[in-house]
């Protein structure tokens, strides 16, 4: 930072000139060329269109070297990206800095104005951003040496942010793998009973009963009513156990519903892929919870959290996958679930295993919450300094 301050003091102590982005001394702005999958050949060059990722890859390019692209249409219209490789600009337009204007510097200026670019979207169903939408944006143009130093500083910030995100995601993945390893190990009893005393092996249908829930839809879920568990929320919201429901069901529907009571396990029986079907959540709430008809309520004398951990084990899923019916929505019957064999140690051992696995699960949950907060904090810090670095006083005209 001290070097940048020295450069500013030396090269532009009285401010810098602001010029329009479309000024010929600032940038070269070019529209893309129409291209579709059908009239192109598959290759290695990214085709930049209306989204945040390449639309597809082709065997030719129309831009090379440093290039800024601005998505032209669709939900991602106006999204700014930097490229330093050959690309094909399609439903987008490109920007390159001129002789005394760094392309990477321009990229940072434009990302600092990203919200303003989004605000220029026009059109009804399919929004568009055109060159004319942003070519009159004013850009501060300091001396090239200052541009270079700003790029170096912001590059370092970006590298740090990427490294932190990678580090946190790696740690989270390691904890998930650790949980899965110990879960599978702790639940992989020797069927002969040599590794554990008093372990029996029984079908779920022989140790407990399955009750299908009753149908309700998302619009039936309100802020005030009876606790309810929707099958989709088992995938996206609930963990291994719950004491409170995400939503409430309209009270007038209550008499028609079927309920999970405390220590029951709610098992999801429908989903988009067969690998996820069959996971469950132990209901520990004091009040009964109405259960969706794409789920089964499993009632037994087993420790409920031991069951919910077992329902995520590899051993269990290998057993039930052959009973899953595939279609637009995959599903499994109570009979299919009931055929899965579960190892049953003493109740005290079930509690011990579940308690140990809960600790691993808590670590994962804590990391999952920390990760987005840490990333957001770094991003906020980066945006603050980017804005500060690119905020120059305007040179006073004589």
The SS3 of residue 262 is coil
Task: Calculate mean pLDDT across residues 192-208.
Answer: 76
More confidently predicted of 65 and 166 = 65
Asked whether residue 197 is assigned to any structural domain, the reply reads no
Q: What is the per-residue pLDDT for 363?
A: 74
Q: Are residues 222 and 325 in the same domain?
A: yes
pLDDT of 192 above 70: no
Task: Calculate mean pLDDT across residues 105-114.
Answer: 95
Q: 83-92, 175-184, 309-318: which has the minimum mean pLDDT?
A: 175-184
The SS3 of residue 6 is helix
**The Cα angle at residue 248 between residues 245 and 250, in degrees rounded to 5:** 155
Share of the chain above pLDDT 90, in %: 64
pLDDT band at 19 (very low <50, low <70, confident <90, very high): very high
Asked whether residue 324 is assigned to any structural domain, the reply reads yes
Q: Are residues 86 and 168 in the same domain?
A: no
DSSP assignment of 45-92? EEEE-SSSS-SEEES--SB-SEEEEEE-BSTTTT-EEEEES-BEE-SE
**The Cα angle at residue 241 between residues 259 and 228, in degrees rounded to 5:** 30
Task: Calculate mean pLDDT across residues 120-149.
Answer: 91
What tens digit of pLDDT does each residue of 20-31 get? 999 999 999 999
Q: Are residues 230 and 319 in the same domain?
A: yes
Q: Are residues 135 and 176 in the same domain?
A: no
What tens digit of pLDDT does each residue of 38-68 get? 999 999 999 999 888 999 999 999 999 999 9
Q: Are residues 7 and 31 in the same domain?
A: no
Exposure of 224 in the CB half-sphere (CA atoms within 13 A) = 0
pLDDT of 389 above 60: yes
pTM: 0.64
Torsions phi, psi for 101 (to 5 deg)? -125, 120
Strand runs (DSSP E) across 269-374, as ranges? Answer: 270-271, 280-283, 289-291, 295-300, 330-331, 341-344
What tens digit of pLDDT does each residue of 215-260 get? 999 999 998 899 999 999 999 999 899 999 999 999 999 999 999 9
Query: How many domains are there within the chain?
Result: 3
Asked whether residue 318 is assigned to any structural domain, the reply reads yes
Distance, in Å, from the CA atom of 306 to the CA atom of 329, rounded to the nearest integer, reads: 28
Could you say which of 309, 334, 359 is where a domain stops? 334
Show the domain range for 256. Answer: 207-334
Could you say which of 305, 334, 363 is where a domain stops? 334
pLDDT band at 396 (very low <50, low <70, confident <90, very high): low
pLDDT of 162 above 90: no
Task: Calculate mean pLDDT across residues 123-132.
Answer: 86
pLDDT of 1 above 70: no
Q: Are residues 386 and 271 in the same domain?
A: no
Asked whether residue 48 is assigned to any structural domain, the reply reads yes
What tens digit of pLDDT does each residue of 276-311 get? 899 999 999 999 999 999 999 999 999 999 999 999
pLDDT averaged over every residue in the chain: 89
More confidently predicted of 368 and 339 = 339
Task: Calculate mean pLDDT across residues 78-96.
Answer: 96
Task: Calculate mean pLDDT across residues 10-38.
Answer: 91
pLDDT of 193 above 50: no
Q: Are residues 7 and 45 in the same domain?
A: no
Q: Are residues 26 and 61 in the same domain?
A: yes
Q: What is the per-residue pLDDT for 197?
A: 57
Asked whether residue 339 is assigned to any structural domain, the reply reads no
Q: Are residues 134 and 147 in the same domain?
A: no
Distance, in Å, from the CA atom of 72 to the CA atom of 110, rounded to the nearest integer, reads: 15
Task: Calculate mean pLDDT across residues 32-43.
Answer: 93
Asked whether residue 61 is assigned to any structural domain, the reply reads yes
* C-alpha to C-alpha distances, 203 to 62, 316, 325, 355, nearest whole angstrom: 63, 11, 20, 23
The SS3 of residue 13 is coil
* CATH number of the structural domain spanning residue 94: 3.90.220.20
Asked whether residue 201 is assigned to any structural domain, the reply reads no
Q: What is the per-residue pLDDT for 398?
A: 44
Asked whether residue 269 is assigned to any structural domain, the reply reads yes
Q: Are residues 351 and 240 in the same domain?
A: no
Q: What is the per-residue pLDDT for 22?
A: 94
Distance, in Å, from the CA atom of 211 to the CA atom of 235, rounded to the nearest integer, reads: 20
Q: Are residues 9 and 35 in the same domain?
A: no
Q: Are residues 310 and 390 in the same domain?
A: no
pLDDT band at 124 (very low <50, low <70, confident <90, very high): confident
């Amino acid at each position: 930072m001290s070097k940048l301050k020295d450069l500013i003091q030396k090269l532009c102590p009285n401010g810098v000139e602001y010029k329009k982005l479309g000024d010929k001394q600032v940038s070269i702005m070019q529209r893309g060329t129409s291209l579709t999958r059908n009239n192109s050949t598959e290759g290695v060059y990214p085709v930049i269109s209306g989204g945040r990722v390449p639309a597809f890859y082709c065997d030719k390019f129309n831009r090379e070297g440093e290039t800024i692209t601005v998505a032209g249409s669709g939900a991602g219209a106006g999204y700014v990206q930097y490229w330093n490789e050959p690309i094909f600009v399609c439903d987008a337009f490109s920007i390159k800095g001129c002789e005394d204007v760094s392309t990477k510097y321009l990229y940072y200026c434009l990302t600092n104005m990203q919200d303003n670019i989004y605000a220029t979207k026009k059109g009804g169903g399919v929004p568009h951003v055109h060159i004319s939408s942003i070519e009159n944006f004013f850009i501060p143009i300091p001396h090239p040496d200052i541009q270079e130093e700003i790029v170096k500083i912001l590059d370092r910030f970006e590298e740090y942010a990427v490294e932190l995100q990678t580090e946190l995601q790696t740690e989270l993945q390691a904890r998930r793998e650790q949980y899965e390893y110990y879960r599978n190990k702790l639940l992989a009893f020797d069927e002969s009973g040599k590794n554990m005393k008093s372990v029996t092996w029984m079908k779920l249908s022989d140790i407990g009963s399955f009750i299908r829930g009753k149908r309700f839809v998302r619009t039936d879920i309100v802020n005030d009513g009876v606790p309810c568990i929707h099958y989709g929320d088992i995938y996206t919201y609930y963990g291994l156990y719950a004491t409170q429901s995400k939503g409430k069901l309209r009270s007038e529907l209550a008499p028609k519903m079927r309920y999970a009571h405390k220590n029951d396990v709610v098992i999801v029986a429908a989903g988009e892929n067969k690998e996820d079907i069959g996971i469950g959540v132990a209901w520990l709430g004091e009040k009964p919870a109405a259960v969706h008809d794409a789920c089964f309520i499993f009632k037994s004398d087993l420790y409920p959290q031991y069951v919910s951990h077992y329902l995520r084990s590899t051993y269990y899923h290998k057993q039930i996958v052959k009973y899953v019916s595939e279609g637009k929505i995959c599903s499994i019957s109570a009979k299919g679930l009931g055929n899965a064999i579960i190892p049953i140690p003493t109740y005290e051992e079930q509690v011990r295993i579940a308690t140990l696995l809960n600790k691993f699960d808590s670590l994962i949950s804590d990391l999952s919450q920390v990760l987005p907060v840490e990333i957001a904090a770094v991003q906020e810090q980066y945006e603050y300094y980017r804005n500060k670095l690119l905020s120059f006083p305007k040179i006073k005209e004589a």
